[in-house]
Structure 1
Amino acid sequence: MSGAAPRPDPFPPRSPNPPKPSPGFHGAVTEFKRRLIEATLAQLGGNRTQAARALGLQRTYLLRLMREFGVNVPRQAAHAVVQSRAAAAAGERHRAVR
């Protein structure tokens, strides 16, 4: 059957950069939660207790979500929180001595 017309290839070649599938509903919700947690932490200088309070969550649940979504407190923010706590503690000791 050399005279037959060629059949189209049922498996066309793959594009080098195929489009990424949309994340769907659950993926979009997860991404929203992650961004909200990151933004809240950034706004509050990395203070997880204040971020949990601002989001209406228990601190332990916020920490679990952070682990689940791979959210880390930036080192600079965490360092600033430690410094502010140390300064506050020093101020309290100074007032108590007076």
Structure 2
Amino acid sequence: MPAKSPNRFEVIVLDVLHRLGYGASRNDLQRVGGSGDAGIDGIISLDKLGLEKVYVQAKRWQNTVGRPELQAFYGALAGQKAKRGVFITTSGSRRRR
């Protein structure tokens, strides 16, 4: 997966989540990543009105993901008043000791 661009990785993540049952159709998937994305790479609407959403952060990293990245995503979710969020990475996470 590291050969894929970050933008392509975001599209792949949304596609995988859709295949796992998130969103009724591809129209329910929205990629918002890129500069100025405020920490949200994608949004998946779970209902026809778009009131229930899952916010997605996709990190294509080789280095481990730590607390600062997860806290930043949590802050992005709070900024959206989100109830659901999914953080997906190609790397591992640092263990807290």
Classify the TM-score, shorter chain.
Answer: under 0.3
Q: Report the TM-score, using the length of structure 2 for normalisation.
A: 0.27
TM-score (norm 1): 0.26
Is the radius of gyration larger for structure 1 or structure 2? 1
Structure in which a larger fraction of residues adopt strand = 2
Structure with greater proportional helix content: 1
